[in-house]
Amino acid sequence: MDEFHPQTIIEPFRIRSVEPIRFTTMGEREQALGEAGYNPFLLHARDVLIDLLTDSGTAAMSSRQWAGMMASDESYAGASSFYRFEAAVRDITGFKHVIPTHQGRAAEHILFNTIARPGDVVLNNTHFDTTRAHVEHAGAEARDLVIPEGRQPRTIHPFKGNIDLQALEAAIREVGPQRIPAVMATVTNNSGGGQPVSMANIRAAGEIAHAHGIRFIIDACRFAENAWFIKTREEGYADKAPIDIAREMFGYADGCTMSAKKDGMANIGGFLALNDDELAARCRALEILTEGFPTYGGMAGYDMEAIAQGLYEALDEGYLRYRIRSIAYLGEKLTAAGVPIVQPTGGHAVYIDAREMLPHIPPLRYPAWSLNNALYLLGGVRGVEIGTVMFGLQPDGTEQPAAMDLVRLAFPRRVYTQSHVDYLAEVILAVNAQRDRVPGHRIVWQAPVLRHFTARLKPIA
Ligand code: F0G
């Protein structure tokens, strides 16, 4: 018989521990959302059927991860779990110093507190919110330099997360290298649709930074997904293993910040990794102050075991093929039905363009927030608004429309199956079929900063 090449990409695992999800009626969901002030962040998770709020810390762990966790070493200093964690991070990133932290933003806090001063400028394709917040907390400016294609939802480009290299050179000339503590690349570019950065772009950005004596740091949260896009889209990488692609990426940089809640396949944890001895020593001093002793840094020994194993599982080809395919699969179904999404689909999420889908809701009536609530009411699905509620409030208290109004549907790793995705597409299409009946919202209470987490809203009749 001929060799069989299946078209169906199946989940590369079988399930031997299950967690029930709870079905609710539309009436129950109406009540739950009303009690939550029409803010999905304030829902009880047990009232959500398919939870796509984030891919962060929501992964299902493998039997090997659990086995490692059972055998962890919880010693305060010098735990063998730390040395296994350190060895895994070094093996994959090549960086000399591994500084454990409780999650990604703690690594950012330590790094920017140590390297950034008022008046400095940090350059990045797009700073994630917490990265920007820590740069600004240190008194510096966070400047985004993604290529123009990366700002246009429907432009197709294989590496929409790329840094605009001309803009990078121009910014370095304008600001001066002594005021730039780091050039960064966020892989994949979460705030820009989970879009990848090419190897050529990473290499060139590193060379430009180094030519001016500036350090180059990778925000590595989704490094394995980025490696997969390089393998499948960039010439010369088709036959390379994801781990070797990852090693090459990190090889162009001087360090990385990492949230192990993403491609660490863990529920908590992170790290800062660096080559520079003197900088690492200064970062460790701050780590002891805020995170803990340098061989645990805010994690339990079992967290470090989960990550030491998880980092390798995230680089498994069968896993990555399934992971990226499940996102593309939903994207294809929505595109075929005419639902506007950020194209092409990225690594960890599908982003629906709510401003385009719901033209009757003006930006200041929050189209993406309204769409997200409609998805919950109709189908028990929870995504997250990345739009005017999240970014619209200005420091002077006025409101401006955000650049885009998107609903991000982020996929937890190894949690949902293809039938969950089929159901999800059905819910989105059902909302799309009656989209002119989706009401806008107004805010009835808000906090002065990061209002989206706690705001209370009302639908507009
Ligand atoms: N960098 C990027 C690119 C991220 O996506 C995140 C978190 C962080 C840093 C911070 O890591 O949460 O461990 O402190 N992103 C999550 C999300 C919260 O939903 O996209 P953390």
- Coil, strand or helix at 290: helix
**Strand ranges, E, within 47-197:** 50-51, 97-101, 121-124, 141-144, 183-186
For range 205-232, the mean pLDDT:
98
Q: What is the pLDDT of residue 396?
A: 87
Q: What is the pLDDT of residue 378?
A: 98
Residue 101 has pLDDT above 90, yes or no: yes
Confidence of residue 454 (pLDDT cuts 50, 70, 90): very high
- Beta-bridged to residue 219, according to DSSP, are 186, 257
Architecture per CATH, domain 63-313, reads as 3-Layer(aba) Sandwich (3.40)
CA distances for 404 relative to 122, 190, 354, 368, angstroms: 23, 14, 8, 9
Which protein residue's CA is at the shortest distance from atom 16 of ligand 1?
Answer: 56
How many Cβ atoms from other residues are within 10 Å of residue 87's Cβ?
12
Q: What is the pLDDT of residue 403?
A: 86
**Ligand 1 center to 281 CA (angstroms):** 25
For range 366-385, the mean pLDDT:
98
Residue 394 has pLDDT above 90, yes or no: no
The DSSP 8-state label assigned to residue 254 in this structure reads: S
Which protein residue's CA is at the shortest distance from atom 4 of ligand 1?
Answer: 128
Domain 26-48+316-456: homologous superfamily in CATH: Aspartate Aminotransferase, domain 1 (3.90.1150.10)
Domain limits, CATH 3.90.1150.10, in the chain: 26-48+316-456
Of 110, 259, 271, the residue with max ligand 1 atoms within 8 A of its CB, to mutate for a pocket test, comes to 259
Number of residues that make up the chain: 461
Confidence of residue 449 (pLDDT cuts 50, 70, 90): confident
For range 264-293, the mean pLDDT:
98
Residue 191 has pLDDT above 90, yes or no: no
Residue 413 has pLDDT above 90, yes or no: yes
**Strand ranges, E, within 182-267:** 183-186, 216-219, 255-259
Q: What is the pLDDT of residue 457?
A: 98
How many Cβ atoms from other residues are within 10 Å of residue 114's Cβ?
20
* DSSP character string of 27-65: HHHHHHHHHTTT-GGGS-GGG-SEE-S-SSS-PPPPHHH
Mean pLDDT taken over the chain: 97
How many Cβ atoms from other residues are within 10 Å of residue 397's Cβ?
7
C-beta 219 within 6 A of ligand 1? yes
Identity at 321, one-letter amino acid code: R
Q: What is the pLDDT of residue 112?
A: 98
Domain limits, CATH 3.40.640.10, in the chain: 63-313
Of 41, 52, 56, 184, the residue with max ligand 1 atoms within 8 A of its CB, to mutate for a pocket test, comes to 56
Which protein residue's CA is at the shortest distance from atom 15 of ligand 1?
Answer: 56
Percent of the chain with pLDDT over 70: 100
**Ligand 1 center to 57 CA (angstroms):** 10
**Ligand 1 center to 55 CA (angstroms):** 9
**Ligand 1 center to 108 CA (angstroms):** 10
**Ligand 1 center to 254 CA (angstroms):** 20
